[in-house]
Every structure is written in structure tokens, then in C-alpha cells.
A and B are shown apart, each in its own frame.
Chain A
């Protein structure tokens, strides 16, 4: 039944119908009419952030950790442009999000009016789709289309730009009006012939490996992945974003490969006779030199996005479909086998190439911190990270035993993701322990959101791996620029404990290995947010490493 409402009310009604309960945002002139009706909708909880980038990353963290669509609000002009890094982050990692931005009034569009930005133009390359809605009558349907696009198929961010006067205009909202997207196809089950071809390759292979990507996480196919791997006894390598799609204490778990992945994982990919890729886009950080990537193997690529097939790597058996559906089709067709010899060989690779050795030293290293966190939390926490050395150490040394617990900007590599994404994850998972593993660099890009954690009493634990450096930059300058260090040292970092205290947050510090367990337990026991300054060794490199564009032949396991 159609109802006559203001544009703002239509937006809120449609958000409720989509099951939205949390919005991250900041108001401004053009979106004030929407904020003006929020008090009528107490079931829409609005969390006021400190910067719109924080709103986008929090919505992203909420979305990744809950599997639902994250929502962000921002005003026109600078509010909307501040969202862009967050939208691009979500786009690269296929995270379902809807951003609603205010726009200047219809009559002012195109006149360089105060706080006018062509945000649909600006965000075209970093959204799955976007809309500029010029009539209140179109708002309801557009919101429903946006959510449908964001969450189905290969998920992604959708932006809806709404002129100020469209929020105020009266329009009709019919919640049952069908969405109208003739150009939008959502793959479900795969073509049976493709599945048969894949099953045949799997049943014939002697040295198969699974490469589990973000698609497994996004489609929540954790149980299916496990059932498949166990039935055919196939080792499971995850991509960086596939981490936590498979329990890392499982015998078949074989790490993650690529630039800073485990050497044994890269070697297993190289030596396999079949790679079964579930929902990974054969990213360049895994593939390196495409011409030399696992030349001896056949490849199956299961992906919901047909445009990913043969984009990086030409494959023998493409399977286009929703990963969850494809598992359902494939599992009955694969033989129950053991691959004893190959699994023994994998064990041998793991023993010969341990990859996770922590330098022997009395000093405190980033790896020690992550290892202690993993031990104390039994691998059960939700972990968010920034980008850099701490991110790689987190990926390597935290042993994830819970599904869907790893939030990291894999595609865009966005420093600053760590602080707000943890807020979103905690809002979405009030009963889970959320640790944010931060770089001292990334932390300072978005630390203003500590205030958001305080205001909303979110007990996020921030572990700063403080090396007073842009550590990953130091490492690259050492390796690829003859040690010509430029702009990688921070000499003016604040006292992070005092900083935390200034926000009214518990601040802790650890400078030795002995203190680790104590401070981590103390943080876990505290029922509010905590910031811990882990003062780690200034210069330390992440290994193993395959330099960009290279292959396993150039793998540097551990130069020390």
C-alpha cells in the first residue's frame, strides 16, 4: 500500500524495511532534513563519528563482520568527498555498503553552489553503482534497489545522492513496488556442465590445492569449504582476505601465499597439479609474475563475477556462480579420497619452510605481540588491521580459529582502516572481543574515532605496534632503494598512553616480552575501550617475501 510521506521519511521507512538498525554518519546542511526525522525512527540507531572516512570504514567493518549491509550518511561537498577512501576500500574488497549523501537543492545543481560536489561523478569508479535521485517518488524504490545491488552478486558499495529539497518534498512510498533492474544479473547456481568439468579435474588430480578467497567469506560458505576440503582431503590455502574462512588449527590449513605469505603456501601453489580457486581474483600480490605463476597446474576458478574469469590467469575450468551454491553442486560430485602422498609432502614443506620464525632476541618485536594476542585470546577475537608490517605480522601470527574474524583492507591497502573498522565490528558484534592491531602510522590517520568508541561505550582494544616508523616503507627503502631512507621515521609521535587518557580511555604500555601477557589480559578484563602502546623494535623486516611482480623463484624466506 502506498503512503504519502516526505522524502526523508521515505528513506527511513525503506531503511527499516531493509533491516537496517545502525547508521554511521555526520550531518551537514544538505542532509539536515534527513536528520530532522531521525527522532521519529528510534529503531535506526545513528552513531556520530568524527570524520566521514570513519563512517565509511565503520560501516564496512560492520558489514564484513555481520554479513549485512553497512550504512553511512554524509552531507554534500566535503562530507561526501570524505567518504571516498572508505567507498574505494569497500569496492576493492567487495563489501556491501550503502552510503546516503545530501546534495544541494535541485535548482542549484551544476551552479557551483556552496558545498556542491558532483559526487555521483566522483564515485563512479569506486562504487558498484550510484544514484542521484531527483524525485521523492523515486526514493523508496531506489533505496531498495541500492540494497539489492549492494548485497547480491559480487557485493559492493552503492551511493545514493539526494538533493536537499527532495528530502523535503512529499512523495509516494510503496514498500511493495518491485525493483526494476533489467541489466542486473545475479548468478546463483553454476552451469552443470561447468561443475562437471571442475569435478572431473578434481577427481583426476593428484596434487590439488584449494585457494579460498574473500568470496568464501562474503558468501558465508565456511561449513561448505570445510566439508569439501575434508571429503577430498585437499589442503586449504587462503588468500589474505580469505583468512578465517577455514580454521587455522585444522590439519589441512596451509597458510596464505604471496608477497608476505608463508613460503610453504607459495610453494604448495607452485607445486600443485590443480588449483581450485574459490572466490579469489588471483590478485597480483599472490600471482606476482603471471607468466611464471604455478605453470605446472591446471586451474579451476569459481567466481560470482564473470569478469574475473581469465582476467589475470587463464583457467581450464571456469565456474560462474554463487560460491555457496557451487559448493552444493560440487561436493556430491567429488570423490572421497585421501591424497596421502601429497598431504605428506605438504607437511614436509611446512617443516622445511616454517615461515613464521620470530627473530631470537630479548627485545620486543611486532611478531611477539601478535603471537601473544593469539595465545591469550585463543585465536577467537575479531581482528582488524591497518596496512603495513603490523598487518602482515597479524595475518601471519594470529592463528584464527573462528570463522569470519579478519577485517583488513586487502585490495586498496588503506592505512587508517584499523581504528573505525573495529568500531563497526564491535557495534555489530557486541558480545565478541574485538582487537584492532594498529600501525603507529595508520592509527594516527583515524584516531579521532577514539571519541566515537568512548561515546558509545565500545570496548574495542587498540594494540598499537609502535615502531615510530612507517615500517613497511623503511623495509622497501632498505630493499629496493639502497637504504636511502626518506620520510619513514616519526620523531614526533605522541605519548599514546597520555593520548588515550585524554580521551578518557584506559592507556597501557608494554616494552618487553615479559609484559605482554599481563597487559593483554588487563585490556581484555577492562569493560571499555583500551589503547596499548606496544613499543616494538624500530627496524625489523617482514619475511617471507616475494618482491612485487616476481615468483617463488625469488622467494626470500629469511635472510638472517
Chain B
């Protein structure tokens, strides 16, 4: 080669003018852009391995986002259902189930239809509703529908349960007291029975009883498990008399499962509930403690449901936390391998002036980069997964923006936390040994 003869044209400065020596490393931080570039090279140098390293973080982040989306979706569904029940409601529930007439429960006081009047008389109660469902065959002309849900209610039902009447009217107190044979049809049911005809004033036959249609309810849709539009509403007294007559009714009254009471928004909910309990206890001739009824508010139900979702969410949080932890350990593992593999590189950098902090920062940034890129992929996978899950299953998913931040933040924290040990190991390497490393 002819290179030997080539003149060297480096402008060598006279030694006297050599720049002042700096012995203060400052923060020991070389340009962040430079650090990021070095770290990025470290990540892309071994793409497959980097990807595998990120897998734990990807799964963890995606899990956090999907799971929070599922539980947020569930909560939203529950909240809507509870809203659909009507405002400011309390639910008075009797002890039922075991026992029955003559059974061991026969001595315990039961919630009966007459208790509605008791509840109604409490100050602060602006409306009550009591429901008694039964399933019957409904006939109109040539149309016969079996297993139609017939709901026995009281005149307060539309206001308490927030159901409008679109056509005609709901039955009144007089009709209730007389067990009048009148019916209000749900919208869908009306269409099934009458098509485009006006049902008002027409007759239908429920079981063997002929009733007159006095109204059609406004569309309300499905709340909880109940499709309000496919039901049929009749005075509850009619149900007791004609559809589920009880031979004991004469002595103990007609059993009801739930009494709904609507409370004045101005009134103190807890006080009103105590009053209802006192009034019911005194009616039954027992003390408050012996009262076998449970009175729950909408909030209680929200809380119960909330507790269930919270438990679910806790479980998911654990799953997500564990995946992130595993992801972090994966990062630590690979970073340690990487530090060992690149010992000589570290030695070379040290020999040209990299300080321990420079080296530490380089590997820390690399770990952070791994977890951030993993986090980013995880976010995309999580959002995609949540949307896909919502579309393909009957569970609803709502992507919560904070969950993305949370997941991404946790990924970054995991990267820094688990990157610290390998980075420190690298920073503390002895330059001579590092340079000698094979």
C-alpha cells in the first residue's frame, strides 16, 4: 500500500496552547440527544431480542388498558341500568324464599300488599309502587302470544319507575281498588297484538280474563333484565284476585316481593328510611331489630355492584401488575446479558472519557427505551384489543384515557426501576478489566 508516503496533515496544536483542563464533570451528562442515539442503537442492534424483552411490558400494558376498559364498560352499563330504575328510589324487600305457607318461615312477618299503604303514609315518601309479575297467554282476535310477562302495578308506577304513557292513560286508584279489568300495553307488545291499529279501547284476553286496553306505554327499552316494552301492565289487585290467588291472603294479606318508594328529593333519605322501618315494625307488632325486611337505596345497589366491579378490577390490577413485573424482570435480565456482552464496548467508552454516570445513563436510557417502545406497542395492542373485545363479546368496553397514561407510566417506571441494577453494574466496571474482556 502506498499510504505510508501520504503526508499527515492533522493540524497539531503546539502543546503550550492546549485547552484548559476541566476536572468538573458537571452532572456527568453528555448530550441527551447523544445518549438517546446510543441507547437507540443498543435497542435496534438486536431487534428480535429487544422485541422479546418488551413482550412482558407489551402484555402488561395491553392488559391494563383492556381490563380497565372492560370494567369501565361494565360500570357504565350498571350506572345506566340504575338510572333507568327511576330517581330517588328505595327498595323494601321482604324475607322470602324458604318457608312459604305453613313452612318454618310462616311466623316471620311478610311484606304484603297492605304495607304499601303503610309506606305511603310516611312523610317524605312521594310515591310508591309495588310490582307482582306473572306470565300469561295473551289473545287478541286470532293472535295468541304465550308467556307474556304481565306486571301487576299501582297507579304510581309510571312516575316512580319513570315510564311514560304515550297513548291513552295509566289506570287510577279507583280502578286499582276495584281490581278493574284494564291493561296498559308495552310498545312492542302493542305492535305485536294490534299492528298499526289503535289498541285504545279494544279488548284482549289474558288467560281467561277479558281486559280493556286503556293505554300504550312510551318506549323505555330494556332496564336490567326487564324489557319494559314487551310487558303488559294491570292493576296489582287484579293479579291477586285472578292470576295468583293465595288461599292465605285472607289472613295474612297478599305477599309482595318488593315495594318501591320514591322519596322527596328535599327529604333526608336516611330519616325517611328509619321512619318507614319504624312504621312497618309497629304495624307488624315487632321491634325494629326483628324487622326481617331490607331497605336499600339506589346508592346501596350501586355500591354493591361497584364492590363487585372493584373486586374484579383488583384481580385485573394484580394480573396487570404481575405482567409488568415479569416484563421488568425480563428487561433486567436482558440488560444484564447486554452489559456482559458489551463489557468491551463499555471499556472502550471509558478509555475515551466516559464517566460512570455516562455509562449508567446510557444503559438506563436503553432500558427506558425498551420499556417505552414496549409500552407504546402495548398501548396500541391494548386499545385494539379493547375495541375488538367490545365488538366480539357481549361485554361493553370503554377506553379510559387515564388508563393509557397509567399503563404507559408504569411501563416507564418498570424500565427505570429494573434498568437501574444493570446500568449500575455497567457503570462500576473497571476500565482495564472491561478493555481486556473477550
State yes or no: do A and B come from one complex. Answer: no
Interface residues of B (CB under 8 A from A): none
